Amino acid sequence: MKIPCYICGLGSYVPSHSVTNGDMEKLVQTSDEWIVSRTGIRERHFLAEGEQVSDAGAAAARAALEDARLSPDAVTHVFVATCTPEYLSPSTACVIAGKLGLPSSSGRGAAVMCLDFNAACTGFVYGLELARSVLQGSPEAVVLLIAAEALSRRMNFADRSTCVLFGDAAGAVALRSCPEGGLWEVRDVTCASDGSLCELIKIGGGTARSVAEGDVLGPDFFISMQGQAVFRHAVRSMTEESQHILERNGLGVDDVELFIPHQANLRIIQAVGERLGLEPAKVFVNLANYGNTSAATLPLAMCDARKEGVLRPGMKVLLTSFGGGMTWGSVLLT
Ligand SMILES: CC(C)(COP(=O)(O)OP(=O)(O)OC[C@H]1O[C@@H](n2cnc3c(N)ncnc32)[C@H](O)[C@@H]1OP(=O)(O)O)[C@@H](O)C(=O)NCCC(=O)NCCS
């Protein structure tokens, strides 16, 4: 029997420290005009010194649980999509669970499964598929899916073509199998990847290179990207994956009430919208205020769209994303 999966709460967190294009002009040789015309980004937010990706993730998680009217004690699984974890170990999921007060004093929290996973900017899509699988096996589970990123901590300010693109943020959803309190059903998810393209976007700091105390950090410690190849792949993969998920659910593009794509670049979003034949009014865009916050863009965009009143419970929503790996995928919410 197919067990349904409902999003029953939604939350996000954006650090208060805003960095405008004007601020970027003081750090690298760039201009507001170049950044806006090539990307649509006007501002991004960076974690404050001492503020960690787990703080952002915990804040988004608390907001999602409050929205779902659930106590942290109810949570059975904490999944964190991130390509900028706080440590190689422990997992950011464990750190966030600790900040949420799990395990709880009742001891029930000791049964919580905490897991980080990395599908880069496609993390939220992959996470919804993970949540669906967990609920299929354990219908009583309460899954907290958090997408949290601290990209500012791996930005290379000597590389002007990448450092202007990214920002920090977190988004979270609470997922259950029971329809009461459900905002949307996660009707279908597709996840794809092509590891032969793994060189196109990289973030260093892992074990690929041995380091000794006192070593000077090289460019391989930071984000590096082949921008134009990524751009082409992004347009093709998000368009095809969106068509694929609609087709396999017997839907046409006119059935989509709101399209929320990964917020990486306005030109990519517009190209995908046009290829799909979507009216621009159905395409949600909020990247001007945040830049590309990797896995966090989709739940953050969902929160903003809901606040603006364009995303309402039960609407047919198409989400799509792409990212390093390369990874990509789509989600159909109803
Ligand atoms: C990164 C990106 C904006 C660059 O735009 P582009 O039109 O491809 O620009 P190019 O890399 O060809 O560079 C064009 C010129 O702008 C310059 N340039 C690059 N970054 C610049 C900046 N921040 N400010 C000013 N000039 C810049 C380049 O040096 C180059 O100058 P030149 O012609 O004198 O050599 C674009 O490739 C892109 O958005 N790619 C997808 C990236 C993405 O979405 N990644 C996220 C993955 S999840």
Q: Which atom of ligand 1 is nearest to the CA of 38?
A: 3
- Same domain? For 263 and 315 the reply is yes
Q: Is residue 25 within 6 Å of ligand 1 at its C-beta?
A: no
- Same domain? For 319 and 217 the reply is yes
pLDDT of 131 reads 98
pLDDT of 106 reads 60
pLDDT of 111 reads 86
- Same domain? For 215 and 90 the reply is no
- Same domain? For 200 and 130 the reply is no
- What span, in angstroms and rounded, lies between the C-alpha atoms of 262 and 252? 21
Looking at the predicted structure, is the pLDDT value of residue 107 above 80?
Answer: no
Terminal CA-CA length for the chain: 19
Domain boundary among 149, 183, 217: 183
265 counts as catalytic: no
- Same domain? For 324 and 240 the reply is yes
Place of tokens 């990123």: 149
Q: Which two tokens stand for residue 332?
A: 């159909």
Q: Which atom of ligand 1 is nearest to the CA of 322?
A: 48
Q: Determine, yes or no, domain membership for 164.
A: yes
Q: What is the CATH number of the domain that holds 203?
A: 3.40.47.10
Q: Which two tokens stand for residue 273?
A: 């919208």
pLDDT of 102 reads 86
Q: Any bridge partners for residue 201, and if so which?
A: 225
- Same domain? For 281 and 133 the reply is no
Q: Is residue 332 within 6 Å of ligand 1 at its C-beta?
A: no
Among 118, 159, 161, 165, say which to mutate for ligand 1: greatest number of ligand atoms within 8 Å of CB: 161
CA of 233 to the centre of ligand 1 (A): 15
- Same domain? For 142 and 206 the reply is no
Across residues 25-33, what is the average pLDDT?
96
**Tens digit of each residue's pLDDT (9 = 90 or more) over 54-72:** 999 999 999 999 999 999 9
- Same domain? For 89 and 196 the reply is no
Strands 143-149 and 77-81: parallel
pLDDT of 105 reads 60
Cis link prior to 103 (omega < 30° from 0)? yes
**CA dihedral of 237, 243, 247, 250, whole degrees rounded to 10:** 140
- Same domain? For 313 and 223 the reply is yes
Yes or no: say if 61 and 144 are a contact pair by the CB < 8 Å rule. Answer: yes
- Same domain? For 27 and 173 the reply is yes
Expressed as residue numbers, the domain containing 148 is 6-183
Of all protein residues, whose CA lies closest to atom 46 belonging to ligand 1? 264
Q: Determine, yes or no, domain membership for 153.
A: yes
- What span, in angstroms and rounded, lies between the C-alpha atoms of 96 and 161? 32
Q: Determine, yes or no, domain membership for 245.
A: yes
Q: Determine, yes or no, domain membership for 235.
A: yes
CA of 163 to the centre of ligand 1 (A): 10
- What span, in angstroms and rounded, lies between the C-alpha atoms of 175 and 145? 8
Question: Sorting pLDDT into bands at 50, 70 and 90, what band is 103?
Answer: confident
Mean model confidence pLDDT for the chain: 96
- What span, in angstroms and rounded, lies between the C-alpha atoms of 234 and 26? 30
CA of 12 to the centre of ligand 1 (A): 29
- 77, 262, 265, 303: which one is catalytic? 262
Q: Which two tokens stand for residue 107?
A: 């001891």
Domain boundary among 129, 159, 183: 183
Q: Determine, yes or no, domain membership for 116.
A: yes
Question: What global pTM score does this model have?
Answer: 0.97
Q: Determine, yes or no, domain membership for 1.
A: no
